């Protein structure tokens, strides 16, 4: 076997797949690589193989022998957020799914629209150019999550800071401090909801029979982190991908009915973690995939962005095509491991793009696409800034 390729394969342009991933994709579907931390791993880049392994019980989020597990900061952060639930995926889904029903998400949409409209009203009064990430992509998801979870709105700024700190994998001390602050607040919040429940997700989780405080705490922290950081990053990258082509933005302006399809296509192109290895898993048994033998305990990384650029599934995958059939997109996972919060993320993206093309039809990038820097020191990725004008 040749020497493993080195990770991460950093993407330098929001419009381009990371060069290393593009090279590997042309060489096959499963590759032996070495992570940035020096650990050997299997990197899976083929669409069929990633789709299969996303919903395969031969892989798990925890190593059969935890002491021998590869050091992966993303897995460590997930374990820090969820505690024992990090290794009990069916239990976690069973606790979360009742709170993400289509009925609950549809009921929340008017509030999302109201919050987005307020932010865009403030945006209109700002001196241009404006950083759309700071003005919209960051504040909207945290306000939505706090509304839905039942967190006082006056605490939203603190939550935003803690989650950004926790996601900073380049600074372990900052990440640990952010997690500590997040858990400290959530612990008190859960205690308050136990005493004075309201019509919110945390109160409903607290009222679930057999759920202990530690489980509620872990789920609350996970929802705040996952629902905020991931959505904030994708609002930025999806909007940038559309603004990069004035004709594409004009098409949405002329027909806002194209927005849902545009959301799915830009998510396919930008999601998730475009600069690192992918979703971390561990082999729970020996098995073969695409002619490669994976051994029990091996570290496996499922790279969804590479899979969503598989030419055998998506013709000319680097092109944004809002008429494309994106039903094969793996952006929100697959099967039992599909993201329970997918509808909430889609709702926010659809609201943002609909209101932007309606209220700011002449919006455009204030810098060249090549100047849009990507965040390489966080678990989620996304843009550093998104300067726009109109």
Per-residue model confidence as pLDDT tens digits over 7-43: 656 777 787 777 777 788 778 899 999 887 788 999 9
**Domain ranges across the chain:** 5-389
pLDDT at position 7 is 65
Residue-wise pLDDT for 167-226, tens only, equals 777 788 888 888 888 888 888 989 999 999 999 999 999 999 888 888 888 888 788 777
Whole-structure pTM over 0.75, yes or no? Answer: yes
Looking at residue 224, what is its pLDDT?
Answer: 77
CATH of 5-389, one of 1.10.630.10, 3.40.50.150, 2.40.170.20, 2.30.110.10: 1.10.630.10
Predicted local confidence at residue 52, as pLDDT: 96
**116 near 140, Cβ under 8 Å?**
yes
Is residue 166 within 8 Å of 225, Cβ to Cβ?
A: yes
């Amino acid at each position: 076997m040749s020497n493993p390729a080195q990770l991460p394969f950093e993407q330098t342009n929001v419009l381009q797949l990371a060069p290393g991933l593009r090279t590997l994709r042309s060489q096959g579907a499963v590759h032996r690589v070495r992570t940035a931390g020096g650990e050997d791993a299997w990197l899976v880049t083929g669409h069929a193989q990633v789709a299969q392994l996303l919903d395969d019980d031969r892989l798990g989020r925890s190593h059969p022998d935890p002491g021998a597990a590869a050091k992966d900061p993303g897995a460590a952060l997930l374990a820090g957020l969820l505690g024992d639930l990090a290794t009990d995926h069916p239990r976690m889904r069973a606790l979360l799914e009742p709170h993400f029903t289509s009925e609950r998400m549809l009921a929340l949409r008017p509030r999302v629209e109201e919050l987005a409209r307020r932010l865009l009203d403030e945006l209109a009064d700002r001196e241009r150019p404006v950083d759309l990430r700071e003005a919209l992509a960051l504040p909207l998801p945290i306000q939505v999550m706090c509304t839905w979870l039942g967190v006082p709105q006056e605490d939203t700024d603190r939550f935003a800071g803690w989650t950004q700190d926790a996601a900073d994998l380049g600074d372990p001390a900052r990440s640990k401090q952010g997690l500590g602050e997040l858990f400290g607040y959530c612990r008190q919040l859960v205690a308050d909801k136990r005493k004075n429940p309201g019509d919110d997700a945390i109160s409903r989780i607290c009222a679930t029979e057999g759920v202990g405080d530690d489980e509620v705490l872990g789920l609350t922290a996970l929802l705040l982190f996952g629902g905020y950081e991931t959505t904030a990053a994708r609002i930025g990258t999806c909007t940038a991908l559309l603004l990069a082509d004035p004709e594409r933005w004009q098409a949405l302006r002329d027909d806002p009915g194209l927005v849902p399809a545009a959301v799915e296509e830009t998510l396919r192109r930008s999601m998730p973690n475009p600069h690192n290895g992918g979703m971390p898993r561990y082999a729970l048994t020996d098995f073969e995939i695409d002619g490669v033998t994976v051994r029990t305990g091996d570290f496996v990384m499922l790279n969804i962005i590479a899979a969503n650029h598989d030419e055998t599934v998506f013709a000319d995958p680097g092109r944004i095509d809002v008429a494309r059939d994106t039903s094969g997109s793996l952006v929100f996972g697959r099967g039992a491991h599909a993201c329970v919060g997918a509808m909430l993320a889609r709702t926010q993206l659809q609201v943002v793009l609909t209101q932007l093309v309606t209220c700011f039809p002449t919006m455009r990038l204030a810098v060249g696409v090549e100047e849009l820097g990507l965040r390489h020191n966080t678990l989620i990725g996304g843009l550093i800034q998104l300067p726009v004008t109109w």
